[in-house]
Structure 1
Amino acid sequence: MIVAIMLLGCVVNTEQLVEQGDWYAVGYRDGIRGNNQRSVSELAKLGSTKHGDYEQGYLIGIEEFCNPNHAYQMGLTGKYYNGVCEGIEGAQKFRMEWQRGWYEYSN
């Protein structure tokens, strides 16, 4: 299912997902990209929200994003990290690996 959502993410934009009522995919997309979780008011601006679906998708996406095994490469390619992994198991290792990559990218 996750592969299908990732493939879907390449073709379908957020507005289309909202039109389809696929709030899980909207949340997953936000999480896997390392974006901050949208507030209830931000979601309401998009349309009739299924907040539980959005949150469930976001949690799965953020869990995948916060994998410390990929953090170094993210930093090395210049992907900015805004602290979304804090409070998740492995957050400290993720941050350290990202910083190591970011340092190499910046120098």
Structure 2
Amino acid sequence: MKKLLLIPFVLLTLQACTSSPRTPAEYWYGQGERFGSNGYQYDNDVLANLKEKKPFDEVSYKKGYEAGKAEYCDPFKAFEKGIQGVRYTDQCSGQDQEVMIKAEWQRGWDAFIGSDFYKF
């Protein structure tokens, strides 16, 4: 009797672990968001490799990329990126608050560079 109760429990548990397959639009939105939120350029080498594996949905990719880039270019997180040693290479050019982003990034970068002198 215990084995009969165990089988449905195991099947339900396994079913809960499976995920539904993502549509191409969801996949490309996610890839765009990932690249944008990590400061990648819009068109990069990794994207070229991914295009070979799945049909490319540029509209979804662009929407995701813009959402990720907005997160990456948050002026209130720019100082953190600078102090962590992340270089600013115009990833946020054209953003509304580009001047503030650059200033905060530079302030963080200066603190990052200056912290090397205090380690001795």
- Please identify runs of 4+ aligned residues in structure 1 that moved more than 6 A: none
Select 2:64's aligned residue among 53, 57, 62: 57
5+ residue gaps, structure 1: 1-18
Query: Looking at CA atoms only, which structure, 1 or 2, has the larger radius of gyration?
Result: 2
Shift of 1:104: 1.0
Give the TM-score taking structure 1 as reference length: 0.73
Contact 1:32 1:64 in 2 (8 A): yes
5+ residue gaps, structure 2: 1-21, 115-120
Select 2:109's aligned residue among 96, 102, 105: 102
- Whole-Å separation in 1 of the counterparts to 2:53 and 2:39: 20
Q: Indicate the RMSD between aligned Cα atoms, in angstroms.
A: 1.9
Report how many residues are paired: 88
Contact 1:29 1:61 in 2 (8 A): yes
Provide the identity percentage.
Answer: 30
Shift of 1:20: 6.3
Select 2:91's aligned residue among 84, 94, 105: 84
Give the TM-score taking structure 2 as reference length: 0.66
- Whole-Å separation in 2 of the counterparts to 1:25 and 1:106: 34
